[in-house]
Structure 1
Amino acid sequence: MHTEIPRYDADVVVIGGSYAGLSAALQLARARRRVLVVDAGVRRNRFAAHSHGFLGQDGRAPGDIAAAGRAEVLAYPTVRWHDGAATGAQADGDGFAVSLADGATVRARRLVLAVGVEDQLPPIDGLASRWGRSVFHCPYCHGYELGGGRIGVLATSALSHHHAMMLPDWGTVTLFTNGCYAPDAAQREALAARGVAIEPARVECLVDMATLALADGRRVVLDGLFTLSRTQVNGSVAAQLGCAMDEGPMGAYLRTDAIKETSVPGVFACGDAARAAGSIAFAVGDGVQAGVGAHQSLLSR
């Protein structure tokens, strides 16, 4: 629902109201700074029923964690919330002007980009509809719940070798190379030492919960499948501002320093958009640092 936003100067606009953005906003709110959170409402983990590995919230529904965080942040009187997307941002004097999808413009002294990323999945029929349910990317987030069962690794590049080497700690693993790479002799030896089977046949599609239909007609029944997505930073705001990027194993992400400031002074970034690989726990921690960094920068500039 659209909330009318007056033209006022916020201390900080936080773009993205998921775990990282909420964490940054909380630090700023507790410093009694005026904060506007702009959120398009698209969490990366919206497909998963449960979240794991975040201390104090293990096994809780991701949406419930985010909703509780939003309520905590909005309890502070200096915080405002806008449901909608930020479509642009540019330098404006000694601060920034942020354009919103409804045509409004808001101005702030600092920005925190917690825009998240979009997962670009392998083009295998049936995979996207099972993403976050029986197809995953993070063993630490989802491996334990497979109960030591049958796990597949669908290769997307040579980086999938590392995935396959990790996952035997969570079950019995088969690596489906799917024409994406051919393990060399040393890699085969390492995989064998970890008990990983190698399946070279191409994967046609996924059926049932996590059953792979192969090109030669066989079907391999699994309890869960892991694959590496490619990630893309959401939106165009970071690019418009000229924020530098670094290339990670799964895609480009925003370059930040020790206090989570980007290459553009006054612009901070946190969450999956500013990290090579992420989780809720990492996002919350990075959000704390971005919020603290943004606040402290207001004291000296």
Structure 2
Amino acid sequence: MDDVIIIGGSFAGLAGALQLGRARRKVTVLDTGLPRNRFAGYSHGLLGHDHKPPLDILAEARRQLARYPAIKLVNARAESVSGAIDDFNVLTSEGESFGARRLILSYGITDQMPDVPGFAEGWGTSIVPCPYCDGFEVAGLHWSLVWSGPQSHNQVRLFHDWTDKLTVFADGHDVPPDIRADLARRNIPVVDGRITGIAQRGAHNATVKLDTGRNVAVDILFAHPRNKPSASLHESLGLATVDTPVGIALKVDERRQTSMPGIYAAGDLTTPFLPSVTQASSQGAMAGIFAQQSMVV
């Protein structure tokens, strides 16, 4: 039996495995090899790895983990989880069974692309969710934001640190009059109508097509589509969740433990509205440390 099974081997999962391996705890990482940021050409803001392709960073991390004999990386999808603290069992889609005293869930989330031609094709290049991840590279250019709710007003205020030229697409949402007045005061136009298509013009250029017949050219489009967990294991386990502006997240305490003793969680699965490899790595490391500490007698 392992000490810990980690389900999901991207930034959060591998960071947790590193801490456990260094503590000489036996850990197995189950991973499908489909990280959320695989569509991005570069990862930004991770100290020591800024402006590197995310898949290259993960590949190097796996190479470094190979020096720890207690860590095993398995390319497999976890199909089901059963048991309780000190006696969990994970069954993979290939029928292989693994047992462990603790679990760390870090299988991330899947972005649900809207049914808009060109959106999925531009995701990660001309359409992005996070200014901290991609803002510096397009600073000073013409930004745009697809309105998704009240939280979009806060994003508009944040964007001024990167650019003074911003357009908001209402995309069928009812933007309240007081917010429209504030946007007008900031010289931010609101374009009404629903988005019917997006034509990508290079790595950081797009033309937004509207049902009003109008086309608007921008340099970068920020959007926050709904997302959902990449697996349903938390549902079968009955773990508590919380609602966020873009989907649900697993509820964890200050030690990253979920509502079920012995199960920890980290990464986008717990903070889907704040995608960040730095945050995911930090949360994964802490989940590994707290899981290890919980087994000390």
Q: TM-score range by the shorter chain?
A: over 0.9
Q: Choose which of 275, 278, 282 in structure 1 pairs with 2:279.
A: 282
Give the C-alpha shift of residue 93 in structure 1.
7.3
**Alignment-mate amino acid for residue 262 of structure 1:** T
Q: Choose which of 165, 170, 175 in structure 1 pairs with 2:168.
A: 175
Q: Deviations over 1:147-178 (max 9, x none)?
A: 31111111233332222332232221000101
Q: Choose which of 275, 278, 298 in structure 1 pairs with 2:295.
A: 298
User: How many residues in Structure 1 have an aligned counterpart in Structure 2?
Assistant: 291
Partner of 1:131: 123
Partner of 1:255: 251
**Alpha-carbon distance between aligned partners in 2 of 1:73 and 1:238, rounded to the nearest angstrom:** 27
Aligned 8 A contact 2:43 2:50 in 1: yes
Residue 185 of structure 2 corresponds to residue 189 of structure 1: no
Aligned 8 A contact 2:126 2:200 in 1: no
Aligned 8 A contact 1:168 1:194 in 2: no
**Alpha-carbon distance between aligned partners in 1 of 2:91 and 2:58, rounded to the nearest angstrom:** 25
**Alpha-carbon distance between aligned partners in 2 of 1:195 and 1:49, rounded to the nearest angstrom:** 32
Gaps of 5+ in 2: none
Structure 2 vs 1, CA of residues 202 and 242 (structure 1 numbering), >3 Å: closer, same or farther?
closer
Q: Choose which of 91, 102, 114 in structure 2 pairs with 1:99.
A: 91
Q: In percent, how many aligned pairs have the same letter?
A: 38
Partner of 1:3: none
**Alpha-carbon distance between aligned partners in 2 of 1:110 and 1:203, rounded to the nearest angstrom:** 46
Partner of 2:45: 53
**Alignment-mate amino acid for residue 249 of structure 1:** P
**Alpha-carbon distance between aligned partners in 2 of 1:68 and 1:16, rounded to the nearest angstrom:** 17
Q: Which has the larger displacement, 213-222 or 168-177?
A: 213-222
**Alpha-carbon distance between aligned partners in 1 of 2:240 and 2:5, rounded to the nearest angstrom:** 20
Aligned 8 A contact 1:19 1:280 in 2: yes
Partner of 1:67: 59
Partner of 1:211: 207
Gaps of 5+ in 1: 1-8
Aligned 8 A contact 1:122 1:229 in 2: yes
Aligned 8 A contact 2:89 2:99 in 1: yes
**Alpha-carbon distance between aligned partners in 2 of 1:232 and 1:55, rounded to the nearest angstrom:** 28
Q: Which has the larger displacement, 155-164 or 219-228?
A: 155-164
TM-score by length of 1: 0.93
SS in 1 for 2:51: coil
Give the C-alpha shift of residue 66 in structure 1.
0.8
Instruction: Quote the RMSD (CA, aligned, Å).
Output: 1.4
Give the C-alpha shift of residue 227 in structure 1.
0.8
